[in-house]
Structure 1
Amino acid sequence: MKKLFKIIAYLEGISYLCLFFNMFVIKNMNLVLYKQILFPLGMAHGLLFVLYVVMAIFLAIELKWSLKKALLILVASILPFGTFYSEKNWVEQMK
């Protein structure tokens, strides 16, 4: 289950960064591409975000994480690069 969580964490982080890139770079360049990829990219990120949160909750229960650690991992999902950091430094080091 940790391996699946690792994959979801990386995909969620990548989709988050792609969404930011679309919002800040492509939109400001006034490209039509912005509107074409906004919905599919947003939908993919939304699904991956929900999967990340659900998997984090299941792992917190399965691995008996402290409430503080579980909340830190959940908060990391709303920060850019947060899922990469949390997966590498908190989840990877656990049994």
Structure 2
Amino acid sequence: MDIKTASALHRLRLISVPEALSFPALLIFGSVLSRISDIDYLMMPLGILHGILFVIYAVFLLDVWNKAKWPVKKVALFFLLAVLPFGGLYGDKLLKREEADSVMAARARREAANAA
């Protein structure tokens, strides 16, 4: 993998944790809060925030799919992990390993090219 692919993986990792926590932390918290109090105006902004994070995650996932040439099954797995509450945390763990591997491969190629 090249450095652009590693960069795309890093961007996906950066958004995966906030997206993973936005559903349980924001929406469930806001839903409980609106039911036990008269704060109904909080749900719409929290829902919009969660939606924006999910759309950014989906766009970054498509970017990684394009650059890393992942198979459809792998992309579907990461999409499913984004839909499941706290699934993105496991996805982040997988992405961290993938990102480290791609950075090491890029460095090895660069060193081999410099040595030749």
Pick the TM interval, shorter chain. 0.7 to 0.9
Is 1:31 the counterpart of 2:29? The answer is no
Counterpart position of 2:64: 59
Query: 2:19–2:88: 8 Å Cα contact kept in structure 1?
Result: yes
User: How far has the Cα of 1:16 moved from its partner?
Assistant: 1.0
Is 1:16 the counterpart of 2:23? The answer is yes
- 5+ long unaligned stretches in structure 2: 1-7, 103-116
Is 1:4 the counterpart of 2:11? The answer is yes
CA–CA distance in structure 2, aligned partners of residues 86 and 11 of structure 1? 12
CA–CA distance in structure 2, aligned partners of residues 37 and 27 of structure 1? 8
Q: Structure 1 vs Structure 2: percent identity of aligned residues?
A: 30
Q: Which has the higher contact order (CA 8 A, sep 6+)?
A: 2
Show CA shifts across 1:9-29 (max 9, x none). Answer: 111112111212222x3244x
CA–CA distance in structure 2, aligned partners of residues 11 and 43 of structure 1? 14
- CA RMSD for the aligned pairs? 1.4
- 5+ long unaligned stretches in structure 1: none
TM-score normalised per structure 1: 0.84
Where has structure 1 moved over 4 Å in runs of 4 or more? none
TM-score normalised per structure 2: 0.71
User: How far has the Cα of 1:2 moved from its partner?
Assistant: 2.3
In structure 1, give the amino acid aligned to 2:44: F
User: How far has the Cα of 1:43 moved from its partner?
Assistant: 0.5
